[in-house]
Structure 1
Amino acid sequence: MLEVVRVTLLKLSRRQKRVLQVLADVVLLWLALLMAFLLRLGWDDLPAWDSGFLWLFVFAPLTAVPFLIRFGLYRAVLRYIGNEALSAMFKAISLGVLAFALVLFAYSQQFLIPRSVIFSYWWLCLVFLGGIRLLLRQFFLGDWFFSQTTHKAPGSLPRVAIYGAGSSGNQLLAALRQQKSLLPVAFIDDDPTLHKRVIAGLRVYSRQQAIKMFAELGVQEILLAMPSASRARRREVIESLEDLPVHVRTVPGIVDIASGRVDVADLQEVDIVDLLGRDAVAAEHTLLHRCIEQQAVMVTGAGGSIGSELCRQILAVGPRTLILFEHSEFNLYAIHAELQAQISRQGLTVALVPILGSVRDVQHVLKVLKSWQVNTVYHAAAYKHVPMVEHNVAEGVLNNVTGTLNVACAAIEAGVANFVLISTDKAVRPTNVMGSTKRLAEMVLQALSRESRVASLLDNKLTVLNRTRFTMVRFGNVLGSSGSVIPLFREQIRKGGPVTVTHPKITRYFMTIPEAAQLVIQAGSMGQGGDVFVLDMGEPVEIVDLAKRMIMLSGLTVRDDEQPDGDIAIEFTGLRPGEKLYEELLIGDNVAPTEHPKIMRAEEELMPWPALRHLLDELNNALQQQDIPHVRQLLRQGVKGYQPESAIVDWLYQHGVQSKD
């Protein structure tokens, strides 16, 4: 019956709802006035209706309703009424009662009533009009207060506990009660002053009481409402929950909430960054702006995971022109549309230029750099997936080495002031083609930085003055990049497993994409020419431990010899071609600090430009002849520490060998 009434009322037009509210408020005002007289005089001593007493019931709504209208009480949606509406009601009723009292004072000869009646009328109006709105809010939400505090609440919804009883936790609770997709049954908080207290109808438990609470209330999931907590703090909390058989999710970070991109109610899986527990260091304002502000900047590979984040952060600094240079049409369209929307939304004056092109087309690159008089180039275009490059050696060399050489030489001829190469930890003592090509790309820039003049691309007989400052920034894996293991693990867990790990002892360094991009920009501002900067990646992470923690935080258990009845198995598939167990960031031991605590300067050996130019010519000839064994030999000859750990698996080379057989 109640449900029929609720649905019927919700179907009324907005005008009909307002009329009902006004009528209800008039009746409640009359009731409050009558109750005020009864409390002061009693029923037997009420004035006679023909003595003017009846006129008081005419003046009461006439003095109160206009203020209720003026403060917008009839525009508020009862289902979502909050503290602001209740505050407005307090002001409206107080002013209405004051106006009513002034009317009585003006006509004191006709209406002689005790002063205490006015005070009683005021607080009774607050109780009646405010109380009815709160009751109707709960009624329309279908979420009566007592249903949240008992163990007999509807069993069809998953039961959740909210970790954090602060403002974010209460906002999340309100959102969940409105959405009715999850059933909050308890708070967990580390503040001992809140333990055993009841907040918004839910009891607050300590972390130590969590196991008992789960058994009593049947909790299936924990929602972390700690958006402003540090990563170290979030990691501590997550680790304390790992042994509990529940799924753990979290509200977004405080930066995302403040920017308006997401809401407190937008629950997410636990960010892998929270598992690493490493807080990003605040950016140096001067370093961020030095090579970008009011300058023309170009990002190659602008649609990739690193390139696109570089573009976002460069746009925030305020360049004059931002050129998005990208080979993939779809990736270029996506990042251009996103940045253009941001420019329109924020009213920026940046000229955004999307350019389709390949870094292997040196004349096209040169034309773009000259046309917009580019000051700074961030060269992020590269093939980075180790097994993919191992199977496509020629394309990997042409894109990573020849492409870098082309953009670098074009930058010199166009008079670009700053050139920053995005490198990788896989360039250190590489065991794969991708790593060796990235180290060779570093060596190209190191060698060019020592040359005062280089041959012109337009006329090989001429030379141009080299005024470009070359900088290389080397770092490890970034979370969420294309090919990252994190989304792969999540998808495997969602499908019920198994989770595949290449080797039980494999480790990797990890950093978030925004932090890496920010550090790249700052490192590029510190270079003197030919510098190799290494980002502080923290401690390496064992991938198998990462997989286990992701399984447990999904509310599942690992199936192994100790737990044969577990939910998700971890399978070891063996190292892929060219893959290393451990990644390194430094080739030698020569490393020096910089003005930024997370950036180090590495002193690496280099090859003089004439010798390197000869090696590159030989490499180009071998590529033209599709002589992959010779390509690998030349890479070993040029890149110190390159030791291939697998046979040649290049698809074209293998096909040619099989065809001969």
Structure 2
Amino acid sequence: MTVKKWKTLLFVLDSFIVAFSMFASYLILYPYLNVLTEKVLILSVITIFLAHHFFAWRYGLYRKVWLYASIGELTSIVRAVTYSIISVMLMQVIVNQDIYVRVLVITWMVHILFIGGSRFSWRLAVDLKKRKLNLKTKRTLIVGAGAAGTMVVRQLLRNQDRQLQPVGFIDDNLFKQNLEIYGVEVLGKIINIPEIVERNKIELIIIAIPSLSKQEMIVLTKICVGTGVKTQTIPRIEDIMTGKLSVNEIQDVRFEDLLGREEVRLDMLAIANQLTNKKILITGAGGSIGSEICRQVARFEPKEIILLGHGENSIYKIDLEMRNLASSNTKVIPIIADIQDRSRIFEIMEIYKPDVVYHAAAHKHVPLMEFNPREAVKNNIYGTLNVAEAAKEIGVSCFVMISTDKAVNPPNIMGATKRFAEMIIQNLAVNSKTHFAAVRFGNVLGSSGSVVPLFKAQIAKGGPVTVTDPEMTRYFMTIPEASSLVIQAGTLATNGEIFVLDMGEPVKIVNLAKSLIRLSGYQEDEIGIEFTGIRPGEKLFEELLNEDEIQNEHVFPKIYIGKSTPINNIDMKNLLDKMLDLNNENLKDVLLKIANKQSFRSVIQ
């Protein structure tokens, strides 16, 4: 039906209702009255007919989409009808010097009943039809019966193609218990969630309390996830209020939401002094950590952000993102270059003369580097040497290298090369105007090398989830937290420090797998866990510091400083001259001995 035909239908229907309402009211009060001979009645019908259509047009009763009718539409109906009745009252005073109050009251009630019923019956009919057609809806529990929760339910009920059926609310407010909102009952309190989920066969939980503190949200999320039902959340209240996200943008709960780590508080003034209106170069800018450093650096409005990376596609993506994110005062410069290309790196440093360098480019995959030790050496050692020496030569103010906890007592090539890279940084820091530092931290959730994407892919395929060993333990941190602490560590760098980030408590990988299974809405008996054995180069437990590196100097909240002994320049030069002449086995043996602090000269010989 066209819009014009639909409006004509409503006009005709309203005309009949208007006339019927007035005649019906007279007949109810004066059943023996000959209504066709009553002058006042005829004039009243004509007046209410004209007045109704005028006020119906005035309040948009023919322009509204009644499929989504709610309180606002009902208010428009009441106004239009009320003003129509007032018009009749004025006519009766003028013509008859009297007002038929009872007739007009009944007319007002019948008028609203039929006009409102004609509109809302359409929505009711469509809702009933959708419920019959949409039999595969998920039974959904909404945690929070406040403004956000009711908005979520309203959105679900309005959605023509909805796949979620709101079954009930959860709220700790005593006054809301057993009440209904939009026809959905408040079933109990947060403490009752497990039994309510089981009793009502809930298939999805949506947490709709955006004002909760981080710790309160963690406790609530753990209760919901513990039921084995998939759990989702709505955005934070700040994102809703600023318009960044809307309340109906429901998101999956992530594992990092369960970590319980406190929010990082940075020294914004120190960071601003180092970055604002300065030239910042980030190597590995297209990677997980590198790209997040770019995003966070952009907040401080540097003069230039130089995005250096080897992968064309990854640099294209971060360049596109930064051009939308960075201030108009910040120039974004994408550069495709390989850090192993020494002349190219020196050329870039000479052209752009950055003030601060964040060196995030590296090969990081442990088992892969075990099969390709020479590539690990060329990229992680010689690549770092090229970038660091070029930075020192042009007088970069601060150079921060991203290291790893795998550099501590490494049994693998990747860790050994990163430890060697730390030594390079320490050596170059001696008698240098450039403030060099390395920042060491553990696994980063959501990074390209993280186990989380692998587990999620395995769960999506129905399992099994593969874990190397039941005792495998790792430290975890989110990408934004790690990146912000790296930037903060740059303000603390003076003379080749090895900064170590506070990674919190270690997490068993098998427990991580179990949490991800539950977060995906499955029970552990539905998605199996398979132990595959430790891979080449892996350790069961990672460390952040060697025993002789440990010192309790806490230079900033969540940032420690380790005392680590560098190799002397002569030994370093001899090693670098001879390293690539070795075959893979000898190369690995030399690197592991150096990284584990055996005699450097005996290794060279």
Using the size of structure 2 for normalisation, the TM-score is 0.86
User: Is the Cα contact below 8 Å between 1:432 and 1:642 reproduced in 2?
Assistant: no
Contact 1:590–1:604 (CA<8 Å) still a contact in 2? no
Please name the residue that 1:629 is paired with.
585
With 417-426 and 152-161 compared, the bigger mean Cα shift is at 152-161
Aligned to 2:602: none
Change (3 A) 1:302 1:545: same
Structure 1 range deviating more: 96-105 or 280-289 = 96-105
Partner of 1:166: 146
Aligned-pair distance for 1:356?
Answer: 1.0
Return closer, same or farther for 1:490/1:615 CA change in 2, 3 Å cut-off.
same
Q: Work out whether 1:387 is the aligned partner of 2:372.
A: no
Distance 1:578 1:386 in 2: 6
* Runs of 5+ consecutive residues of structure 1 not aligned to the other structure: 1-11, 453-466, 559-565, 644-661
Structure 1 residue 497: deviation in Å?
2.0
Q: Is 2:595 aligned against 1:639? A: yes
Q: Which moved more, 1:121-130 or 1:351-360?
A: 121-130
Deviation at 1:542, TM superposition (A): 0.9
Q: In the aligned structure 2, how far is the partner of 1:61 from the partner of 1:442? A: 87
Distance 1:29 1:183 in 2: 38
CA apart distance, 1:19: 3.8
Contact 1:300–1:379 (CA under 8 A) maintained in structure 2: yes
Match of 2:298 among 294, 315, 319: 315
Contact 2:366 2:414 in 1 (8 A): yes
One-letter code aligned to 2:390: A
Q: Is the 2:23–2:35 contact (alpha carbons within 8 Å) kept by the matching residues of 1?
A: no
Inter-partner Cα distance in structure 2 for 1:538 and 1:523: 17
Q: Does 1:410 align with 2:390?
A: yes
Q: Which residue of 2 aligns with 1:651?
A: none
Q: 2:6 aligns with which of 6, 17, 20?
A: 17
2:110 is equivalent to residue 110 of structure 1? no
Deviation at 1:288, TM superposition (A): 4.2
C-alpha offsets along residues 214-267 of structure 1, whole Å, 9 cap, x if unaligned?
454333333333444344333323433455353334445556656666554444
Structure 1 pair 503/121, CA: closer, same or farther in 2 (3 Å)?
Answer: same
Q: Choose which of 292, 303, 306 in structure 1 pairs with 2:286.
A: 303
Alignment check: 8 A CA contact 2:142 2:149 kept: yes
Give the percent of matched residue pairs that are identical in Structure 1 and Structure 2.
38
Measure, in 1, the Cα distance between the counterparts of 2:440 and 2:342.
24
- Asked whether 1:54 is paired with 2:42, we answer yes
Equivalent residue of 1:491, what SS? Answer: helix
Matched, 1:580 2:512: no
C-alpha distance 43-342 of structure 1, shift in aligned 2 (>3 A) = farther
The alignment status of 1:436 with 2:416, answered yes or no, reads yes
Partner SS state of residue 95, structure 2:
coil
Q: Deviations over 1:589-627 (max 9, x none)?
A: 2132234x232333333334444334333xxx321x252
- Contact 2:55 2:83 (C-alpha < 8 Å) held by counterparts: no
Alpha carbons 1:168, 1:227 under 8 Å: kept: yes
- Contact 2:474/2:542, CA 8 A, preserved across alignment: yes
Aligned pair in 2 of structure 1 residues 76, 584: CA closer, same or farther (>3 Å)? farther
- Pair 1:612-2:572 in alignment: yes
User: Normalized against structure 1, the TM-score is what?
Assistant: 0.79
Q: Which moved more, 1:258-267 or 1:471-480?
A: 258-267
1:219 matched to 2:202? The reply is yes
Q: Which residue matches 1:338? A: 321
What secondary structure sits across from 1:568 in the alignment?
A: coil
User: Hey, what's the Cα distance between the residues in 2 that align with 1:450 and 1:471?
Assistant: 11
C-alpha distance in structure 1 between counterparts of 2:311 and 2:480, whole Å: 22
Q: Deviations over 1:50-107 (max 9, x none)?
A: 52443444444544555554555544433334555556x27xx548845874785488
Is 1:307–1:380's contact at 8 Å kept on the other side of the alignment? yes
Contact 2:350 2:394 in 1 (8 A): yes
Q: Counterpart amino acid of 2:558? A: K
CA RMSD of aligned residues (A): 3.5
Q: Summarize the Cα distance change of 1:85–1:327 in structure 2 as closer, same or farther, 3 Å threshold.
A: farther
Q: Counterpart in 2 of 1:562?
A: none
In the alignment, which of 155, 164, 169 is matched to residue 175 of structure 1? 155
Partner secondary structure for residue 497 of structure 1: coil
Which residue does 1:78 correspond to in 2? Answer: 66
Say yes or no: does 1:244 pair with 2:219. Answer: no
- Structure 2 match to 1:202: 184
Per-residue deviation, residues 260-290 of structure 1 (Å, max 9, x unmatched)? 6655444444310122232423444324423
User: What displacement does 1:541 show?
Assistant: 0.7
Q: Which whole-Å deviations, capped at 9, do the CAs of 1:393-423 have from their partners, x for residues lacking one?
A: 1111111121122112222233322222222
Residue 431 of structure 1 contacts residue 642 of structure 1 at CA under 8 Å; is this kept in 2?
Answer: no
Three-state SS of the structure 2 residue aligned to 1:400 is helix
Residue range with higher mean Cα deviation, 105-114 or 167-176: 105-114
Mapped partners of 1:138, 1:291: distance in 2: 62
Secondary structure of residue in 2 paired with 1:317: coil
Query: What residue number does 1:8 align with?
Result: none
Q: Point out the more displaced range, 495-504 or 272-281.
A: 272-281
- Distance verdict in 2 for CA 1:215–1:608, change over 3 Å: closer
**Maintained 8 Å contact 2:280/2:302:** yes
Counterpart of 2:299 in 1: which secondary structure?
helix
1:448 aligns with 2:428: yes
The structural deviation recorded for 1:530 is 2.2
Q: Quote how far apart the aligned CAs of 1:501 are.
A: 0.9
Corresponding residue for residue 277 of structure 1: 260
Counterpart residue type for residue 438 of structure 1: K
Deviations 1:157-181 (A, max 9, x none): 3323223333333233233332331
Residue 382 of structure 1: how far off its partner (Å): 0.9
Structure 2 portions without partners, runs of 5+: 600-605
Aligned-residue offset at 1:142: 4.0
Deviation at 1:21, TM superposition (A): 4.1
1:488-637 correspondence to structure 2 within 5 Å: 488-558=454-524, 566-587=525-546, 588-595=549-556, 597-617=557-577, 621-623=578-580, 625-637=581-593
Cα distance, 1:301 vs. partner?
Answer: 1.0
Contact residue 254 and residue 519 of structure 2 kept, 8 A? no
The 1-side partners of 2:16 and 2:299 are apart by 57
Match of 1:289 in 2: 272
Q: What SS class does the counterpart of residue 420 from structure 2 fall into? A: helix
Q: CA deviation at 1:569?
A: 2.5
Shift, 1:208, TM fit:
5.0
Distance, in Å, in 1 between the alignment partners of 2:438 and 2:32 is 94
Q: Secondary structure at the match of 1:136?
A: helix
Counterpart residue identity of residue 499, structure 2: F
One-letter amino acid of the structure 2 residue matched with residue 17 of structure 1 = W
| More deviation, 221-230/516-525 | 221-230
Aligned positions, number: 593
Letter in structure 1 aligned against 2:167? V
Give the structure 1 partner of residue 123 of structure 2.
Answer: 137
Q: Deviation of residue 328 (structure 1)?
A: 0.6
Superposition deviation, residue 115 in structure 1: 6.1
| Alpha-carbon distance between aligned partners in 2 of 1:310 and 1:119, rounded to the nearest angstrom | 69
Q: What do the CA deviations read for 1:135-164 (whole angstroms, capped 9, x no partner)?
A: 4334334468xx7xxxx9975333232233
Which residue number in structure 1 is paired with residue 309 of structure 2?
Answer: 326
Q: 1:362 to 1:63 in 2, by over 3 A?
A: farther
Change (3 A) 1:107 1:298: farther
Question: For the Cα contact (< 8 Å) 1:176–1:183, is it kept in 2?
Answer: yes
2:333 is paired with a residue of what secondary structure?
A: strand
